[in-house]
């Protein structure tokens, strides 16, 4: 045993022990913060086939960082080389130590193998191992080098803005960045003295002017210190994501979801954010208004360090652009809603009218729910009524007079109990109608009905409904091939519900649909989403104008959208000609 | 011989032309993009504050153009105005150039396009009309609702497209409050049975005789006033308009149905005003013309020789427009001396 001990390993050992102790303590505590439903889901699925895709995703994301690769090759390489390279260094190093030193040995030997084993040829393929280990070290070092360049010139990895880190993260980063150069140095010095290096360490060792036991010892001590410092700071810094992402992917694959209140699961999400900063460039508040400090990366950080201010939580359009870019696929919108929890709103008087709304038997009809916003764009419900009449579909216009909001805008602002009141009333009305299909014109309502309600009937957005009518031949439309239109993907319908194709199919059958530079997942928020209560009208208009510019790039005759709110946002800008998909369809049936 | 180009044969342009032409050795080029002059007056029935017939004023103003040294160029839209060696060069839509020693811009206003406030249902429900549509109906002497019957209840909504952050116009259009009062009185004269309601934010009875007219409308004509903004309009099965609003005096939500909803559309700079003020670097954030100084040099722009008058500067009543045209004449005469 003493043969494999040297005092320099102490920092590393303390680091490892603390790291695991803190992590295990945190993970257990968070797990106990899961609510009953979340835990039941884990119990139910832990032994199911869902296990396998979880493992696959962990390899693809936590190690290989596939999603970052898809975004930018250099950035992906940077993340993968550090994560996967280091992982391999540990695994291959472990086997090398197992083969090279027989019998029991302390756990640090694998880490400081070259220091304890000077002999190059203890087993058959030892030389190959040496070269492989050098190769892996070079792999990691190349990633660190890119990270270093990125700090000075972020465009190299396709990023305009990078995260501004808190002091503590910078401290952890410096120790992380030191680990590998110190390892290189230590192994090179040892190689210079004992000729046990590979293509990299031996080459460097051979040109080193200094190499004696003192230098060697100091180098290995620095390496151990860097490791120790990094390990101790890891659970408190952004590097906690390294382990946490693994757990998160696992829980998520088993079916755990965020709920209305912050839970233990949220704690996992918070720590799984690597503060990569990809969400900063995605955010229209950054791009169009240069508002700093509110983007998801800062928002999550502020929650984690308990320094979140209301202005930050509220300053978000809920456009989910960042969520669709986030390589860890965090449920950023749900966390934002949790942090907006404001219970004190008194709605007793406002909600008295709910009791006066009477149910209606719509057994043989489609239920049509225009949505409050559509009442401000009466052209849309008018068009829908015409379409229903044209195909001879009887319908019940549920919110024609007594408009009850679906509740989602309240929820976005954090008024969860109030939203639940509205959901209860609407559910009651819908259930008592005995209808089997609900069509809505508002993507906000659509997302609400499909995700927050548990309705026993099918729900369709009107673009889906119209697409089906056209496809089945029930609705005959005239195509005007000379009419060039562009389509705006509303955040709530596109990124929110994944409906991208149906509106395009519909538009293609009535006009000539053109592509726009930023569309589908990348579509730009119209700025008038109800999510943000902080920015001013002029700022909303700036965001709107950027979206409009994108839509007008190819000089279309008409801009189409599928959301009353987007439509209002665009028509406020004087010269834009804007229509809802339903309106264009209604026009094309004469 | 001095040549003065006046752009826009509205009340301001004509008034200025007629006075300037009285001077010897002066020639006036009066450009008008439309085929006829005074279009913004011809669609009016009676004028506030005195209920005089708009047609009479049209006649008087037109007569003022009967001078040899006024060249009315109707159907000629001015597309560009540029300074050249101390003089001015103008170009019309066909590309013909004209030169002048001074230019007076009287390109006026246009009304707010009510389609932009879709929640009010203009262009969707036939029962929703604008103040201009109402003016035409009164002029024809025939006011009917959407299904061709005599209306029983008519609601006016003030400040459509004015004092409204959302439509981008923060200013007050000045003429619509009193126009609503005027139209409500005319309607009561025309259809004694009709109920009239005016929804307002606050009533701006700023001009001579306005307040008296407002009082008379209540006392003599029974016009009713509700303080509140209408948030949305919808149609009912029988072609009426259902209005949702809040009475901000009593603080209660309010629903009302009416045969006609009249949107009191505000004034915006005309297309010509917007285009030329931008070209000549004298546009404010809306596109109205800015002047050197609101008190003493309110007809001069930053460019010597380029003058402005009338509603191309800001919303104005006729009275103010005509006075402003005369004041521009003084400044132009000073400049050419
Ligand atoms: C609903 C309503 C009711 C009103 N009722 C009254 C009332 O009862 N009493 C009252 O005192 N006032 C009333 N007014 C206000 C009145 O209409 C204006 O004060 C007046 O018309 C302003 O005159 P102007 O010459 O400045 O502009 P305008 O009347 O707008 O004339 C401008 C002219 O310039 C022309 N033009 C524009 N661009 C070009 C170009 N590039 N080249 C050539 N020609 C061009 C236009 O065609 C137009 O003929 C009312 C206004 C509204 C909206
Ligand atoms: S939220 Fe996602 S995209 Fe943003 S920093 Fe965290 S991991 Fe990166
Ligand atoms: S949801 Fe939209 S506005 Fe909010 S942080 Fe993400 S990108 Fe920015
Ligand atoms: S559109 Fe809007 S506002 Fe609307 S019902 Fe749905 S959530 Fe309520
Ligand atoms: S005059 Fe009256 S109606 Fe017109 S904008 Fe001003 S306050 Fe509103």
Q: Which of A48-57, A344-353, B142-151 has the lowest mean pLDDT?
A: A344-353
The mean per-residue pLDDT over the stretch A189-206 comes to 93
3-state secondary structure A310-372: HHHHHCCCCCCHHHHHCCCCCCHHHHHHHCCCCCCCCCCCHHHHHHHCCCCCCCCCEEEECCH
* Nearest atom within ligand 5 for CA of residue B175: 1
* pLDDT value at residue B14: 98
> What does the alpha-carbon distance between residue A389 and residue A564 come to, in Å, rounded to a whole number?
21
Q: What is the torsional sign of CA A72, A73, A75, A76?
A: positive
Q: Could you tell me which residue, A340 or A80, shows the higher pLDDT?
A: A80
What is the distance in angstroms between the Cα of A450 and the nearest Cα belonging to chain B? 27
Query: Which CATH number is associated with domain B114-267?
Result: 3.50.50.60
A21 Cα–ligand 2 center, Å: 26
Q: Establish if B87 touches chain A: CB-CB under 8 angstroms.
A: no
Q: Strands, DSSP E only, in A203-332? A: none
Helical ranges in chain B per DSSP H: 11-20, 39-42, 54-63, 131-140, 176-190, 210-219, 271-279, 318-336
The mean per-residue pLDDT over the stretch A237-244 comes to 95
The Cβ of residue A408 has, within 10 Å, a number of other Cβ atoms equal to 29
Q: Which residues share a beta bridge with A368?
A: A397, A439
* Nearest atom within ligand 5 for CA of residue B173: 5
Cβ < 6 Å from ligand 3: which residues? A 282-285, 295-296, 316-322
The mean per-residue pLDDT over the stretch A382-391 comes to 96
Q: Do domains B2-108+270-336 and B114-267 have the same CATH topology?
A: yes
Q: Are strands A458-461 and B128-130 parallel, antiparallel or unpaired?
A: unpaired
Nearest-CA residue for ligand 3 atom 5 is A295
Best probe of the A interface among B117, B119, B243, B268, by most A CBs < 10 A, is B119
List the single residue in A378, A568, A571 with the smallest CB-CB distance to B234: A378
The Cβ of residue B71 has, within 10 Å, a number of other Cβ atoms equal to 17
Q: What residues of chain B lie within 8 A of the CB of A370, using their CB? A: none
Cβ-based neighbours of B99, under 8 Å, separated by 6 or more = B3, B84, B87, B88, B89, B90
- Taking CA–CA distances from B234, the nearest residue in chain A reads A378
Q: Do A382 and B166 make contact, defined as CB atoms within 8 angstroms?
A: no
A455 and A433 Cβ atoms separated by less than 8 Å: no
> What does the alpha-carbon distance between residue B23 and residue B337 come to, in Å, rounded to a whole number?
12
* pLDDT value at residue A344: 62
* pLDDT value at residue A266: 97
Q: Does pLDDT of A190 surpass 80?
A: yes
Q: Map residue B100 onto helix, strand or coil.
A: strand
Cβ-based neighbours of B2, under 8 Å, separated by 6 or more = B25, B26, B27, B101, B102, B336
List the single residue in A376, A400, A537 with the smallest CB-CB distance to B119: A376
List the single residue in B118, B124, B165 with the smallest CB-CB distance to A571: B118
What is the distance in angstroms between the Cα of A426 and the nearest Cα belonging to chain B? 21
Q: Map residue B104 onto helix, strand or coil.
A: strand
Cβ < 6 Å from ligand 1: which residues? B 7-13, 31-34, 39-40, 44, 47-48, 77-78, 106-109, 111, 131-132, 135, 175, 179, 267, 270, 272, 310-311, 316-319, 321
Nearest-CA residue for ligand 5 atom 2 is B177
Q: What residues of chain B lie within 8 A of the CB of A397, using their CB? A: none
Q: Map residue B31 onto helix, strand or coil.
A: strand
B130 Cα–ligand 5 center, Å: 14
Q: Does pLDDT of A1 surpass 60?
A: no
Q: Which of B43, B107, B139 to mutate to test the pocket of ligand 1 (most atoms within 8 A of CB)?
A: B107
pLDDT in tens, A467-518: 999 999 999 999 999 999 999 999 999 999 999 999 999 999 999 999 999 9
In chain B the first and final C-alpha atoms are separated, in Å, by 12
The mean per-residue pLDDT over the stretch A26-32 comes to 96
The percent of residues in chain A predicted with pLDDT above 90, rounded, is 77
- Taking CA–CA distances from A571, the nearest residue in chain B reads B116
Nearest-CA residue for ligand 1 atom 17 is B40
> What does the alpha-carbon distance between residue A96 and residue A111 come to, in Å, rounded to a whole number?
10
Best probe of the A interface among B113, B124, B163, B269, by most A CBs < 10 A, is B124
Following CA atoms A60, A65, A70, A75 in sequence, which dihedral angle do they give, to the nearest 10 degrees? -160
Q: Does pLDDT of A345 surpass 70?
A: no
Q: Which of A294, A296, A304, A335 to mutate to test the pocket of ligand 2 (most atoms within 8 A of CB)?
A: A296
Query: Which CATH number is associated with domain B2-108+270-336?
Result: 3.50.50.60
> What does the alpha-carbon distance between residue A406 and residue A398 come to, in Å, rounded to a whole number?
12
- Taking CA–CA distances from A400, the nearest residue in chain B reads B234
Nearest-CA residue for ligand 1 atom 39 is B272
Backbone phi, psi, residue A369, to 5°: -120, 105
A488 and A561 Cβ atoms separated by less than 8 Å: yes
Q: Map residue A545 onto helix, strand or coil.
A: helix
* pLDDT value at residue B137: 95
**Is the beta carbon of A404 within 6 A of some atom in ligand 4?**
no
pLDDT in tens, A65-104: 999 999 899 999 999 999 999 999 999 999 999 998 888 8
B179 Cα–ligand 5 center, Å: 9
Q: pLDDT band at A346, cuts 50/70/90?
A: low
* pLDDT value at residue A343: 59
Q: pLDDT band at A398, cuts 50/70/90?
A: very high
Ligand nearest to the CA of B308: 1
Q: What is the torsional sign of CA A426, A429, A435, A439?
A: negative
Q: pLDDT band at A354, cuts 50/70/90?
A: confident
The mean per-residue pLDDT over the stretch A182-209 comes to 94
Q: Map residue A86 onto helix, strand or coil.
A: helix
Query: What does the domain layout of chain B look like in residue ranges?
Result: 2-108+270-336, 114-267
Q: What is the torsional sign of CA A539, A541, A542, A546?
A: positive
Q: Which of A337, A371, A567 to mutate to test the pocket of ligand 4 (most atoms within 8 A of CB)?
A: A371
pLDDT in tens, A249-283: 999 999 999 988 899 999 999 999 999 999 999 99
Whole-model pTM: value is: 0.81
* Nearest atom within ligand 4 for CA of residue A404: 5
Query: Which CATH number is associated with domain A348-468?
Result: 3.40.50
The mean per-residue pLDDT over the stretch A136-155 comes to 94
Q: Strands, DSSP E only, in A374-419? A: 395-397
Q: Establish if B168 touches chain A: CB-CB under 8 angstroms.
A: yes
- Predicted-complex ipTM score: 0.72
Q: Establish if B118 touches chain A: CB-CB under 8 angstroms.
A: yes
DSSP secondary structure string for all residues of B288-304:
PBP-SBTTTBTTB-SST
Q: Could you tell me which residue, A345 or A270, shows the higher pLDDT?
A: A270
Q: What residues of chain A lie within 8 A of the CB of B119, using their CB? A: 375-378
Nearest-CA residue for ligand 2 atom 3 is A326
Work out the mean pLDDT of chain B and round it to a whole number. Answer: 94
> What does the alpha-carbon distance between residue B222 and residue A437 come to, in Å, rounded to a whole number?
50
What token pair was written down for A436?
């089997």
Q: Establish if A356 touches chain B: CB-CB under 8 angstroms.
A: no
What angle is formed at CA A468 by the lines to CA A462 and CA A472, rounded to 5 degrees? 150
Q: pLDDT band at B233, cuts 50/70/90?
A: confident
Cβ-based neighbours of B293, under 8 Å, separated by 6 or more = B300
Nearest-CA residue for ligand 1 atom 37 is B107
Q: pLDDT band at B181, cuts 50/70/90?
A: very high
Query: What does the domain layout of chain A look like in residue ranges?
Result: 8-242, 348-468, 476-588
Q: pLDDT band at A533, cuts 50/70/90?
A: confident
Cβ-based neighbours of A75, under 8 Å, separated by 6 or more = A68, A69, A150, A157, A158, A159
Ligand nearest to the CA of A291: 3
Q: Establish if B121 touches chain A: CB-CB under 8 angstroms.
A: yes
Q: Do B166 and A377 make contact, defined as CB atoms within 8 angstroms?
A: no
Q: Do A378 and B166 make contact, defined as CB atoms within 8 angstroms?
A: no
Helical ranges in A400-477 per DSSP H: 408-412, 416-433, 443-447, 462-471
**Is the beta carbon of A276 within 6 A of some atom in ligand 2?**
yes
8-state DSSP, B49: T
Q: Does pLDDT of B293 surpass 70?
A: yes
Q: Establish if B165 touches chain A: CB-CB under 8 angstroms.
A: yes
Cβ-based neighbours of A575, under 8 Å, separated by 6 or more = none
User: Is the N-terminal amide bond of B196 cis, ω within 30° of 0?
Assistant: no
Q: Which of B173, B286, B314 to mutate to test the pocket of ligand 5 (most atoms within 8 A of CB)?
A: B173
| Architecture of the structural domain at A476-588 | 3-Layer(aba) Sandwich (3.40)
The mean per-residue pLDDT over the stretch A135-144 comes to 97
* pLDDT value at residue A417: 84
Q: Does pLDDT of B8 surpass 60?
A: yes
């Amino acid at each position: 045993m003493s043969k494999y001990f040297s005092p320099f390993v102490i920092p590393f050992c303390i680091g490892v022990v603390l790291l695991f102790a803190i992590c295990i303590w945190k993970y257990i505590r968070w797990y106990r913060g899961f609510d009953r439903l979340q835990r039941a889901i884990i119990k139910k699925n832990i032994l199911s086939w869902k296990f396998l895709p979880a493992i696959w995703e962990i390899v693809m994301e936590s190690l290989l960082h596939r999603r970052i690769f898809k975004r930018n090759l250099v950035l992906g390489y940077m993340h993968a080389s550090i994560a996967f390279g280091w992982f391999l260094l540990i695994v291959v190093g472990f086997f090398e130590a197992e083969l090279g030193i027989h019998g029991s040995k302390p756990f640090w030997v694998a880490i400081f193998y070259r220091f304890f084993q000077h002999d190059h040829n203890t087993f058959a393929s030892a030389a190959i191992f040496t070269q492989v280990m050098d190769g892996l070290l070079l792999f990691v070092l190349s990633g660190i080098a890119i990270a270093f360049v990125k700090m000075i010139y972020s465009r190299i990895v396709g990023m305009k803005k990078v995260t501004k880190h808190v002091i503590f993260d910078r401290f952890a980063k410096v120790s992380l960045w030191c680990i590998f150069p110190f390892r290189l140095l230590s192994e090179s010095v040892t190689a210079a003295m004992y000729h046990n290096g590979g293509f990299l360490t031996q080459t460097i060792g051979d040109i080193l002017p200094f190499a004696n036991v003192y230098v060697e010892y100091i180098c290995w001590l620095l390496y151990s210190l860097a490791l120790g410092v990094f390990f101790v700071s890891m659970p408190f810094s952004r590097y906690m994501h390294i382990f946490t992402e693994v757990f998160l992917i696992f829980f998520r694959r088993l079916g755990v979801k965020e709920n209305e209140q912050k839970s233990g699961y949220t704690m996992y999400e918070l720590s799984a954010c690597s503060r990569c900063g990809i969400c900063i460039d995605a955010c229209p508040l950054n791009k169009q208004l240069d508002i700093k400090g509110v983007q998801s990366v800062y928002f999550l950080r502020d929650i984690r360090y308990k320094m979140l201010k209301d202005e930050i939580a509220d300053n978000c359009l809920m456009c989910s652009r960042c969520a669709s870019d986030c390589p860890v696929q965090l449920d950023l919108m749900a966390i934002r809603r949790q942090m907006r929890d404001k219970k004190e709103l008194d709605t007793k008087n406002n909600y008295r009218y709910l009791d006066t709304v009477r149910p209606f038997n719509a057994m043989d009809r489609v239920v049509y729910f225009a949505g409050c916003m559509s009442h401000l764009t009466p052209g849309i419900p008018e068009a829908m009524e015409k379409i229903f009449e044209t195909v001879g579909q009887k319908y019940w216009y549920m919110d024609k007079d007594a408009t009850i909001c679906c509740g989602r805008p309240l929820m976005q602002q954090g008024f969860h109990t109030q939203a639940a009141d509205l959901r209860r009333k609407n559910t009651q009305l819908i259930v008592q109608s005995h209808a089997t299909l609900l069509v809505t014109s508002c993507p906000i309502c659509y997302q609400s009905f499909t995700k927050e309600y548990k309705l026993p009937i099918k729900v369709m957005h009107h673009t889906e409904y119209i697409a089906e009518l056209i496809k089945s031949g029930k609705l005959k439309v005239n195509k005007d091939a000379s009419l060039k239109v562009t389509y705006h993907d509303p955040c709530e319908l596109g990124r929110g519900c994944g409906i991208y194709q149906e509106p395009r199919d519909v538009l293609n059958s009535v006009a000539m649909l053109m592509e726009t530079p930023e569309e589908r997942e990348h579509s730009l928020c119209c700025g008038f989403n109800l999510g943000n209560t902080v920015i001013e009208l002029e700022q909303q208009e700036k965001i709107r104008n950027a979206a409009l510019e994108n839509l007008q790039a190819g000089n279309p005759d008409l801009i189409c959208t599928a959301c009353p709110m987007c439509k209002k946002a665009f028509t406020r800008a004087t010269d834009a000609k804007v229509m809802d998909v339903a309106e264009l369809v209604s026009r094309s049936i004469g | 011989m001095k040549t003065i180009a006046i752009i826009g044969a509205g009340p301001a342009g004509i008034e200025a032309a007629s006075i300037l032409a009285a001077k010897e050795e002066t020639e006036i080029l009066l450009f008008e993009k439309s085929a006829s002059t005074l279009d913004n007056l011809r669609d009016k029935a009676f004028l506030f504050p005195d209920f005089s017939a708009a047609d009479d004023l049209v006649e008087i103003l037109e007569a003022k153009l009967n001078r040899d040294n006024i060249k009315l160029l109707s159907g000629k839209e001015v597309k560009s105005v540029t300074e050249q060696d101390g003089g001015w060069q103008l170009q019309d839509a066909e590309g013909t150039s004209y030169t002048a020693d001074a230019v007076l811009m009287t390109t006026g206003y246009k009304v707010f396009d009510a389609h932009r406030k879709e929640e009010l249902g203009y262009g969707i429900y036939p029962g929703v009309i604008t103040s201009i549509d109402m003016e035409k109906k009164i002029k024809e002497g025939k006011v009917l609702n959407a299904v061709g019957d005599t209306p029983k209840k008519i609601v006016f909504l003030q400040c459509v497209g004015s004092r409204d952050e959302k439509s981008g116009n923060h200013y007050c259009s000045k003429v619509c409050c009193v126009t609503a009062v005027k139209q409500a009185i005319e309607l009561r004269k025309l259809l004694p049975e009709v109920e009239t309601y005016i929804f307002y934010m606050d009533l701006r009875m700023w001009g001579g005789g306005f307040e008296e007219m407002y009082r008379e409308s209540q006392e003599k004509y029974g016009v009713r006033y509700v303080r509140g903004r209408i948030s949305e309009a919808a149609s009912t099965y029988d072609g009426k308009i259902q209005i949702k609003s809040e009475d901000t005096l009593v603080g209660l939500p309010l629903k009302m149905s009416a045969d006609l909803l009249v949107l009191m559309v505000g004034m915006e700079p005309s297309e010509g005003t917007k285009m030329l003020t931008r070209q000549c670097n004298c546009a404010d954030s809306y596109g109205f013309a800015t002047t050197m100084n609101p008190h003493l040099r309110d007809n001069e722009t930053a460019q010597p020789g380029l003058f402005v008058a009338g509603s191309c500067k800001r919303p104005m009543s006729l009275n103010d427009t005509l006075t402003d045209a005369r004041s521009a004449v003084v400044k132009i005469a000073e400049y050419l001396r």
